[in-house]
Structure 1
Amino acid sequence: MDKNNLQQITFGGGCFWCVESCFNMLKGVESAISGYSGGHKDNPTYEEVCTGETGHAEVVQITYDSSLISYEQLMDVFFFLHDPTQLNRQGNDIGTQYRSVIYYKDEAEKAKAEESIKTSQESNRWSGTYVTEISPFEKFWAAEQYHQGYYNENPTQPYCSAIVGPKIQKFKKHFGELGMLELN
């Protein structure tokens, strides 16, 4: 990867274990780190975020090489991995910490996020109105170490085998067969 082309994007699409696992497989993604953004408490813990009282979302911060993978491709994967029409939830994961959100760093990124939502809505992949928030990026706190690469370390854990594993297989099938993105 060319360090001169590295950029970051931070977004939330439900449980970060699912999102992080898939993005870490993409060619052009240097890292996908589970964490928290959008809240009012510094250095939140998983337990605090799970209460819904800190205002944080479970997010993934992605560092990527823009010469290998585009913002638009990352957004296509993002909207594939979660249902952006569900307010404050993804499946059985319920609460504001599971909201659909894109954090932008400047007005150009905000415009790209708005365009990505519009493009995804026009694709009719999901029926219903998108509720994805577009919010200014303020701070990212990496989640506790045991959350990083959680699925790879715990594939037989009940949530992983029932939810994360099938989502990863669906992701591999869709993006691998289309050849849109090469998987590492």
Structure 2
Amino acid sequence: MSGSTTTFVLAGGCFWCLDAAYRQLRGVAEVLSCYTGGETPQPNYEQVCTGATGHAEAVAVTFDESVIPAGVILDAFFTMHDPTQLNRQGNDVGTQYRSAMFFASEEQRELFEAARDRAAEYWAGSGEVVTSIEPLGEVFPAEEYHQDFFAKNPTQGYCLAVAVPKVNKVRASFAEYLR
């Protein structure tokens, strides 16, 4: 990659789906499945799944803006999950599956607000966009088996039922940015 990289930390349901979809896009240098937005130090998957830690399953997406614009990364985020569902995505229910964007700077906060406004127009008629925009706190990498989960487990039931349709939606909507 030739330009400088930017990292956005985004949560929109199970991190396996976001991870799989972002890995399809040119200019994405790294996707890290992680936990953030809560109070429990060093949380693990079992703790986050209880919903008691306050953390969300998220991804830290590092990308090269000279290859893929920040706005495309954010518009893809609002394409790959339903931001009108409060504290859930489909059958995944709890605050750990909330739709959230975690900003590391004032510039990111402004970009995230603009993207959420665009999403509100896109999702008009489906309900209010409930995506929260929160300050980025500490990011805890998820366990190794969660990293690039879809590629490692393409025939796993959840991947086939939930991740594949989201990946396909991103592939169709952002074809000019595919690897």
Asked if TM exceeds 0.5, the reply is yes
Report what 1:67 is aligned to: 66
Report what 2:147 is aligned to: 148
Structure 1: 5+ residue stretches without partners: none
Shift >6 Å, 4+ stretches? none
Alignment of 1:86-105 (within 5 A): 86-105=85-104
How much does 1:125 deviate?
6.0
For the residue of structure 2 that corresponds to 1:27, the secondary structure is coil
Inter-partner Cα distance in structure 1 for 2:160 and 2:125: 24
Please tell me whether the aligned partners of residues 85 and 126 of structure 1 are also in contact (alpha carbons under 8 angstroms).
Answer: no
Q: How many residue pairs end up in the alignment? A: 179
Report what 2:29 is aligned to: 30
Please tell me whether the aligned partners of residues 9 and 61 of structure 1 are also in contact (alpha carbons under 8 angstroms).
Answer: yes
Please tell me whether the aligned partners of residues 39 and 53 of structure 2 are also in contact (alpha carbons under 8 angstroms).
Answer: yes
How much does 1:126 deviate?
6.2
Q: 1:126 to 1:143 in 2, by over 3 A?
A: farther
Q: 1:160 to 1:125 in 2, by over 3 A?
A: farther
Any idea what the Cα deviations from partners look like across 1:33-59, whole Å, max 9, x if unmatched? 111000111111000000000000000
Inter-partner Cα distance in structure 2 for 1:90 and 1:172: 20
Aligned residue identity for 1:80: T
Report what 1:48 is aligned to: 47
Please tell me whether the aligned partners of residues 85 and 132 of structure 1 are also in contact (alpha carbons under 8 angstroms).
Answer: yes
Inter-partner Cα distance in structure 2 for 1:170 and 1:64: 20
Superposition RMSD in Å = 1.3
Q: TM-score, normalised by structure 2?
A: 0.95
Q: 1:36 to 1:126 in 2, by over 3 A?
A: farther
Inter-partner Cα distance in structure 1 for 2:69 and 2:56: 24
Please tell me whether the aligned partners of residues 100 and 132 of structure 1 are also in contact (alpha carbons under 8 angstroms).
Answer: yes
Inter-partner Cα distance in structure 2 for 1:87 and 1:112: 22
Please tell me whether the aligned partners of residues 11 and 101 of structure 1 are also in contact (alpha carbons under 8 angstroms).
Answer: yes
Q: TM-score, normalised by structure 1?
A: 0.93
Please tell me whether the aligned partners of residues 123 and 129 of structure 2 are also in contact (alpha carbons under 8 angstroms).
Answer: no
Please tell me whether the aligned partners of residues 8 and 62 of structure 1 are also in contact (alpha carbons under 8 angstroms).
Answer: yes
Please tell me whether the aligned partners of residues 33 and 61 of structure 1 are also in contact (alpha carbons under 8 angstroms).
Answer: yes
Q: 1:126 to 1:19 in 2, by over 3 A?
A: farther
Q: 1:77 to 1:44 in 2, by over 3 A?
A: same
Q: 1:124 to 1:50 in 2, by over 3 A?
A: closer
Please tell me whether the aligned partners of residues 15 and 98 of structure 1 are also in contact (alpha carbons under 8 angstroms).
Answer: yes
Inter-partner Cα distance in structure 1 for 2:123 and 2:145: 36
Report what 1:170 is aligned to: 169
Report what 2:15 is aligned to: 16
For the residue of structure 1 that corresponds to 2:38, the secondary structure is coil
Please tell me whether the aligned partners of residues 17 and 147 of structure 1 are also in contact (alpha carbons under 8 angstroms).
Answer: yes
The answer on 1:108 being equivalent to 2:104 is no
